Amino acid sequence: MSAITPLYNALLVARLQLHRSLRRALDQPRTLLLQVGFFVAVWVYVVFAGSQMPGVEGATGTTGELDPTELRNGVRGGIVVLWLFNVATALKGTPTHASQVPGGGFLLRSADIRPTLWGTMLAEYARRLALYGLFAITAVVTLLWGLGLPTRDPLVMFSFLLLFLTAELTGMTLRLGVAASGFRLGAVGRVIVGGVGIVVVSFALGYPNATLTVLSQIPVANFAEAFLSGIPAVTPDRTALVWTIVVSTATIPFIAILIERLAQRTWFSGDQRPAPGTNRTQVGQWLESLGVEGPARAVAWRLWLQSRRKPMVLGLLGVPLLIVGLAVVDPEGSHFALFPLSMGLYAVWMTGFVLTLNPLSSEGGTLPHLLTANGDEIVTGYALTAAVIGLPVTVATIVAGGLLIGPPSLILPGMVVCIAVFLGTVPTGIAFGLILPRLEAVPIETDGPLTPGKFAMAGHGLAVAVLAAPAVIALYGTQTFVPEWVAIVGVTLTLLCSLAAGVLSRRSAARQLDSLMLD
Amino acid sequence: MTTAIETRGLTKQLGDVLAVDDLDLSISSGTVYGFVGPNGAGKTTTIRMLVGLLSPDAGTALVDGTAASNRKELTDTVGYLPAEAPLYDELTGREQLQYAAQFRRLDDGDRVEHALERYDLVDAADRRVSGYSTGMRRKLGLAQATLHDPPILILDEPLNGLDPGATRTVRELVNEVSDDGTTVMISSHDLATVESICDQVGIVSDGRLVADASPESLSASVAEDADLEAAVIELTDQ
């Protein structure tokens, strides 16, 4: 085997993976369109609204308010956010066992570990550059040109490529390092980590300037100095940039060797996870004591078990409550109208996202019910689980929002509206999930339902918004000049529309379930 | 006769389970070797160690005199078909084989067309693998595993879910390659087929080799008119 063979094989692996990625993307034109649309929207925003950003406005010299520090921190922090996002993506996508490598039985026997590892990484790197990189660099360059600030720094492209490469390698190292250490988070640990993660992200979103300033201190932010070149009143720190490039470039071979060693150690060690527990639960008996029996109870019980196995997903239900908590710490972020009602409606949407929006996602769990229960019973099972888990969270969110942030007068109407919309949108969510299911190949290690499809999520969000609209508009109006009876009409309208939507969606979902055929 | 596959004290623990326990195995070159046993007996784990996709905790595994973990050296020596054929749904059957040929530096024109004809896949060659039936996927997997004419062929459950026609194709393939001197190790629950095509059969239970002989000897060891199925049930305490 010549020295050139691993390189040839790595390039062949990369070509193979890119070939597959392209086919997958073209097979899902709606998703591709959505992704492209998202990036175009970001691009348009950056180009047309970006010049209104604080700091940028000042930097152009078009106004008297020059704030180069804020601009600098923003660009540096933004680069770190992009880097962290790519680290997280790489971390999630790195296989920790040979069986997780797509077609591993073929690739690892034909091309061995080094070409497989680096070929796959190269393909992923190229895919990510194509997906995010081209849009991001177009946006940055267009923004700067639009402001009359062409970036002349020859290190721009180099910094850009290194930014993505270091993110990819860092993500791989972290994932393989944790796998090699044998460290595993239990269910409680995952909930804690997920909770801390949600708090950190919520905090970061609530305090963007402070977050960007903190992130701008991380050495990776030095890559941003390449993009700051040519902006008036901003002097890029070229020494820091050059040092970061030199250190990154010099470190990459060592990280690559470390990754290879870690992969060699973890990929061929076999799956060492302990056998799953028996998942004893009292929910089945509890539902029985409530008089819920037969297939509906079985559906609810199964859904509960699956939710328990995905504690982080279930933890998403707590996000609205968490936002209320953060608003208590920082009341600045909650000074918008109808805060308790808005948070309650967010909890309603989240319940649908977590529990009802993809009823066909898990064949192993769904198929037995499809064969033994009718559609009505299955919908009842889903609605029961959503009610048992989601309603208390929704009510608690409204009460906490009303008492802690206010106004307390919104608690009662907020509860009426949210419970009505809840009753209406749980069956609507199931119906959307049946019309727009996400039926992709379920990885063998996935022990639970798949995340719902984007279009089902959007449809469900639209249903929540439309049903809540009469009450929200009327309640908002009564805070200004509209008489109180309008609010009663609005809430009543939401109540009636929600109940009607619930009944119709329930029938539609049950009919769809009854008419399902295996093909 | 030289030894094609040999293990000594091969051991592997997966989580809480001792999947393979001090396994000694010896398969002579040119033999068609059946590797049978109940579900969870350790067949697939053993095979994965033999093809270098799993590292043993203890013991050695030699394939053609080379450590099984040395995949690079054994790339051209071993053809391997796992229970789930390693195919890419996004590719067509022809593209899948063309990639396999390119990895092995084979002339991907004639070789691929010949393989497609051999496994009766010409009509489906330009269809996506995602649309293939179980039998077609297995045949394509076999075509991929044998594309480079390896002297050692390791097949893990190649008969699972196959219709009689496809089963016959596999049987004919095994007979054909073994006539050419290829060593074949085949794990399967289809004991009638194993009995008909294998020269030697190893029965594994709880990660240990409990018997290793010709199908006739194994059957006779249980009862005069017994078949391999009876022998496996008897020897594995099922």
- For chain A, the structural domain boundaries read 4-267, 305-439+448-514
Of B153 and A235, the one with more pLDDT: B153
- Contact with chain B for residue A64, Cβ under 8 A: no
Q: Tell which B residues from 174 to 233 touch A, by Cβ distance under 8 Å.
A: none
Q: What is the pLDDT of residue A362?
A: 61
Judged by CB atoms closer than 8 Å, whether chains meet at A112 and B99 is answered as no
> Which residue from B218, B200, B220 is spatially nearest to B25, judged by alpha carbons?
B200
* Six-digit token string for A282: 């009292």
Stretch (H or E) spanning A211 = helix A208-215
Three-class DSSP category at A244: helix
Query: What was the pLDDT predicted at A209?
Result: 81
Distance from CA of B191 to the nearest CA of A (A): 25
Q: Is A7 on the interface with B (CB under 8 A)?
A: no
Q: How close B84 gets to chain A, by Cα (Å)?
A: 9
**Residue A283 predicted with pLDDT over 80:** no
Among the listed residues A399, A395, A407, A419, the one whose alpha carbon sits nearest the alpha carbon of residue A467: A419
The residue type of A202 is: S
Q: What are phi and psi of B59, to 5 degrees?
A: 90, 180
B contacts of A98 (beta carbons < 8 Å): 53-54
Q: Which residue of A has its CA nearest to B86?
A: A103
Mean pLDDT along residues B30-47 = 93
Residues in chain A: 519
- Confirm or reject contact between A152 and chain B (CB < 8 A): no
Distance CA A75, CA A88 (A): 20
How many angstroms separate the CA atoms of A506 and A499, rounded? 10
B99, HSE (Cβ side, Cα atoms, 13 Å): 28
Q: State how beta strands B17-28 and B3-14 pair.
A: antiparallel
Q: Which residue has the higher pLDDT, A298 or A499?
A: A499
Residue with tokens 């960007």: A212
Neighbours of B110 (CB within 10 A): 10
What is the percentage of chain B residues whose pLDDT exceeds 90? 65
Instruction: Please tell me if residue A16 touches chain B, with a CB cutoff of 8 Å.
Output: yes
Q: What is the DSSP string of B5-71?
A: EEEEEEEEEETTEEEEEEEEEEEETT-EEEEE-STTSSHHHHHHHHTTSS--SEEEEEETTEETT-H
Between residues A118 and A449, which one has the greater pLDDT?
A118
pLDDT of B88-97, one tens digit each? Answer: 999 999 999 9
B15 with A12: Cβ contact below 8 A: no
Nearest to A465 by CA among A368, A356, A346: A346
Which DSSP string do the residues of A168-185 spell out, in sequence order? HHHHHHHHHHHHHHT---
CATH architecture for segment(s) B3-77+150-235: 3-Layer(aba) Sandwich (3.40)
Please indicate whether residue B167 or residue A131 has the higher confidence score (pLDDT): B167
Find the largest Cα–Cα distance for chain B: 52
Q: Which residue has the higher pLDDT, A41 or A309?
A: A41
The HSE-up count of residue A463 (CA atoms within 13 Å, CB side) is 34
Amino acid A311 reads P
The pLDDT mean for chain A works out to 80
Contacts of A9 in chain B (CB under 8 A): 103
Distance CA B137, CA B126 (A): 14
CB contact under 8 A, A109 and B53: yes
- Mutation test of the interface with chain B: which of A268, A272, A439, A440, choosing the one with the most B Cβ atoms within 10 A? A268
User: Which residues in chain A have their CB less than 8 angstroms from residue B12's CB?
Assistant: 270
Q: What is the pLDDT of residues A458-513, one digit of tens each?
A: 889 999 999 999 998 888 888 777 778 888 899 999 999 999 999 999 999 888 88
Q: State the Cα angle at A72 between A70 and A78, rounded to 5°.
A: 100
Query: How far B73 CA lies from chain A's nearest CA (Å)?
Result: 9
Three-state SS string over A499-510 comes to: HHHHHHHHHHHH
SS3 B184: strand
Contact A437, A361 (CB under 8 A): yes
Strand partners, B20: B12
Distance between CA atoms of A256 and B220, rounded to whole angstroms? 57
Give the confidence band of A440 by pLDDT, cuts at 50, 70, 90.
low
Residue A252 — pLDDT band, cuts 50, 70, 90? very high
Is the reported ipTM for this assembly greater than 0.90?
A: no
pLDDT of residue A211: 87
Rounded to a whole number of angstroms, the distance from the CA of A268 to the nearest CA of chain B is 4
Q: pLDDT (tens digit, 9 = 90+) per residue, A195-245?
A: 777 777 777 777 788 888 899 999 999 998 887 776 667 788 889 999 999
Average pLDDT over residues B170-197: 91
Interface contact A107, partner B, CB < 8 A: yes
CA A374/CA B123 separation, integer angstroms? 41
DSSP string, A300-333: HHHHHHHHHH-HHHHHGGGHHHHHHHHHHH-GGG
Find residues 13-72 of chain B whose CB sits inside 8 Å of chain A.
14-17, 19, 45, 48, 51-55, 69, 71-72
pLDDT reading at B127 higher than 90? yes
Chain A contacts in chain B segment 107-146 (CB below 8 A):
144
- The backbone region for A406, taken as left when phi is positive above 0, alpha when psi lies in -120 to 50, beta otherwise, is left
When CB atoms are compared, the residue of B15, B69, B102 closest to A271 is: B15
Q: What is the pLDDT of residue A55?
A: 45
Check residues A275 and A83 and name the one with the higher pLDDT. A83
- Phi-psi label, residue A506: left if phi above 0, alpha if psi -120 to 50, beta otherwise: alpha
Report the percentage of chain A scoring pLDDT > 70: 77
User: How close, in Å, is residue B34 to chain A by CA atoms?
Assistant: 21
Mutate to test the interface with B, among A7, A24, A106 (most CBs of B within 10 A): A106
Q: Which two tokens stand for residue B69?
A: 């973990």
> Which pLDDT score is estimated for A63?
43
Q: Measured between beta carbons, which residues in chain A are less than 8 angstroms from residue B95? A: 19
Res. B63: pLDDT tops 90: yes
The 3-state DSSP class for residue B76 equals: coil
With an 8 Å Cβ cutoff, are A104 and B15 in contact? no
Residue A149 pLDDT grade (very low, low, confident, very high; cuts 50, 70, 90): low
Min Cα separation A274/chain B (Å): 5
Q: Is A110 on the interface with B (CB under 8 A)?
A: yes
**Cross-strand partners of B63:** B5, B66
CA distance A184 to A38: 35
Q: In what order do the strands lie in the sheet with B58-63?
A: B17-28, B3-14, B58-63, B66-67
Cβ–Cβ gap B75/A112 under 8 Å: yes
Q: Where are the alpha helices (DSSP H) in chain B?
A: 43-50, 71-74, 93-103, 110-118, 134-146, 164-179, 191-197, 215-222, 228-235
Tell me the sheet residues that pair with B10: B23
Q: What is the pLDDT of residue A296?
A: 77
Residue A443 has pLDDT above 70, yes or no: no
- Compute the average pLDDT of residues A367-382: 79
Out of A325-339, A388-402, A436-450, B63-77, which region has the weakest mean confidence (pLDDT)?
A436-450
Q: Which residue has the tokens 């053609």?
A: B64
Smallest CA-to-CA distance from B23 within B232, B210, B218 is with B210
Per this entry, what is the length of chain B?
Answer: 238
Cβ–Cβ contact B83 with A under 8 A: no
What percentage of chain A has pLDDT greater than the value 90? 25
**Which one is predicted more confidently, A182 or B43?**
B43
- Residue A441 is classified by DSSP as P
A3 close to B (CB below 8 A): no
Best residue of B17, B48, B53, B70 to probe chain A, by most A CBs closer than 10 Å: B53
Interface test with B, best of A110, A267, A519 (most B CBs within 10 A): A110
Q: Which of A102, A104, A268 sits opposite B55 (nearest CB)?
A: A268
CA angle B109, B115, B118 (to 5 degrees): 140
Confidence of residue A395 (pLDDT cuts 50, 70, 90): very high
Mean pLDDT of A129-144: 66
**Looking at beta carbons, which residues of chain A come within 8 Å of B48?**
270
A283: which 2 tokens?
């929910």
Enter the DSSP assignment of B156. Answer: E
Tell me how close the Cα of A259 comes to any Cα of chain B, in angstroms.
18
Residue B12 has its nearest CB partner, among A24, A113, A270, at: A270
What is the distance between the alpha carbons of residues A448 and A313, in angstroms, rounded to a whole number?
10
Q: Assess A408–B contact: CB distance below 8 Å, yes or no.
A: no
Answer yes or no: is pLDDT of A59 > 50.
no
3-class DSSP state for residue B3?
strand
